[in-house]
């Protein structure tokens, strides 16, 4: 193998290792406030009594989400494209006009609880504002 071929091979290995190492390193999510941008969306799920079908009589349960512009990576959670939002009941009516709009959300992250949340990580919302695009 010539010197230039060995140099090229070594550079390829170094770039591959560097890029894969950077991908493997996701930030820890706990202990700080985060800021995200994306679209505010909501989804309806069947609730009690059977948690199977709203059309068959189960109570509709609405969850609110931030749909991210690109995937996020935190600790062992990779390729996250959506976070469920933990909102106070009084905030739901205030933020309802923003559904479908681009927003900025600030808050802390915590792991979603089975049966309560539908995403791996949940944002405990401290502020939510519509983005103004010019």
pLDDT tens-digit readout, 12-32: 333 333 344 454 689 999 999
pLDDT, tens digit, 9 for 90 and up, residues 84-132: 999 998 899 999 999 999 999 999 999 999 888 999 999 999 999 999 8
Domain for residue 19, yes or no? no
CB 107 within 8 A of CB 33: yes
pTM, two decimal places = 0.76
How many domains are contained in the chain?
1
Which tokens in the block code for residue 29?
A: 């999510």
User: What is the domain-level CATH number for residue 120?
Assistant: 2.40.50
CA distances from 3 to 8, 10, 16, 17, 58 (A): 9, 10, 20, 21, 71
Instruction: Express each pLDDT in 31-64 by its tens digit.
Output: 999 999 999 999 999 989 988 999 999 999 999 9
Residue 49 lies in a domain: yes
- Expressed as residue numbers, the domain containing 56 is 27-130
Would residue 16 count as lying in a domain?
no
Tokens coding 83: 């976070």
Residue 13 domain-assigned (yes or no): no
Please, are residues 42 and 61 in contact by the beta-carbon 8 Å criterion?
A: no
């Amino acid at each position: 193998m010539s010197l230039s071929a060995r140099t090229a091979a070594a550079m390829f290995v170094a770039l591959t290792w560097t890029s894969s190492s950077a991908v493997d390193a996701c930030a820890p999510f706990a202990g700080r406030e985060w800021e995200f941008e994306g679209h505010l969306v909501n989804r309806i799920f069947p609730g009690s009594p059977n948690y199977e079908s709203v059309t068959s009589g189960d109570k509709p349960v609405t969850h609110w989400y931030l749909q991210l512009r690109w995937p996020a990576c935190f600790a062992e959670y990779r390729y996250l494209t959506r976070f469920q939002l933990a909102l106070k009941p009084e905030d739901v009516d205030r933020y309802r006009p923003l559904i479908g709009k681009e927003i900025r959300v600030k808050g802390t992250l915590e792991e979603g609880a089975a049966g309560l949340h539908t995403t791996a990580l949940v944002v405990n919302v401290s502020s939510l504002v519509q983005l103004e695009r010019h």
